[in-house]
Amino acid sequence: MDRQKHKCIFCLEESENFKTVEHIVSESLGNTDDILRDAVCDKCQNYLGKEVESFVLSKTPFAFWRTIYGTKTKQGKEPFFNIILDKKDKGAISNYHPFSDSNIVIHPAHFNNEYVIRADVSDMALLERIQSGQKRRFNIVLTPKMLVYMGRFLGKIALEYWCKNYGRNIFEKRFDELRHYVRYGTTNAMWPIFHWQLAEALLKYEDISDGLQEHTLYRYAYGEIKAINKLLFVFDIGSERYAIIMDEKYPDSDILTYEMFSKLFEDIAEFPDIFYYSQLK
């Protein structure tokens, strides 16, 4: 049987290996509708699912929102947020931070028929401080590894929605640096991520018919930065907003002003935090 050749939007290789359907946003975040066919080769899909998505959706703030919402995997597994950092600085990208709490797993539980969030703390010293009342909140610091993987995750979604909406424009050279970052990562310089806290969480339930509920856990938008002719991708999840510039890793800092951001999106009320480590080790 003849199968057609397609070109992959990440590795740029042409092949016939496009058997599986790509979910732009993982099904673990509740996406069943936004899919791509014949755009991401099986090898890249497999790699990105196993390497990038599985890390981001269990060990970063994206996992936190999945857990709060209770979105199960397609195999019916419960979500969890696994805050277990390395004990010391090791590996090519550090997943360690001296000021972060660690050894905590946050997961859903059912208590008196109610959905509750439970935190299991396996660090005995930390547990003692919680039980004695000395410690009242967890301090979670985003490590270089978390931010690199979150950037790759956002870049993947940004490129895939662009492909879905604008087709072959996805192969323009201006996206090459981002597609490479998404597919192959980096050990020397991360893609900066802009971050805002939204006034209200997106998390909501709406009755769409008897007993059926629809939710809005995430949403996305693109904005054109006219001053430098660049493209911003924005992804909201829970009460957080993340953004990356898709076609410029290090934009001129002069254009990164509150005015620039607020012109793009009228619900942006302040200058973002910029998540960035200049050294990953």
Residues making contact with Zn ion (CB under 5 A): 8, 10-11, 41, 44
Question: Which residue, 46 or 257, is less far from Zn ion as judged by CB?
Answer: 46
CB of 31 to Zn ion, least distance (A): 20
Whether residue 147 contacts residue 154, with contact meaning beta carbons closer than 8 Å, is answered with: no
Q: Which amino acid is at 277?
A: Y
Distance CA 159, CA 182 (A): 9
CB nearer to Zn ion: give 14 or 224: 14
Is residue 238 within 8 A of residue 202, CB to CB? The reply is: yes
| Residue 131 CA to its chain's centroid (Å) | 33
Cα separation, 230 vs 255, in Å, equals 11
CB of 13 to Zn ion, least distance (A): 6
Residue with the closest Cβ to Zn ion? 8
Question: How far apart (Å, rounded) are the C-alpha atoms in residues 119 and 233?
Answer: 33
Quote the least distance from Cβ 8 to Zn ion, whole Å: 3
Closer CB to Zn ion, 27 or 42, in the complex = 42
Q: Which residue has the tokens 């000395």?
A: 134
Min CB(15)–Zn ion separation in Å: 8
Smallest distance, Å, CB 222 to Zn ion?
23
Nearer to Zn ion, 17 or 82 (CB): 17
Q: Which is nearer to Zn ion, 23 or 241 (CB)?
A: 23
CB 68 within 8 A of CB 116: no
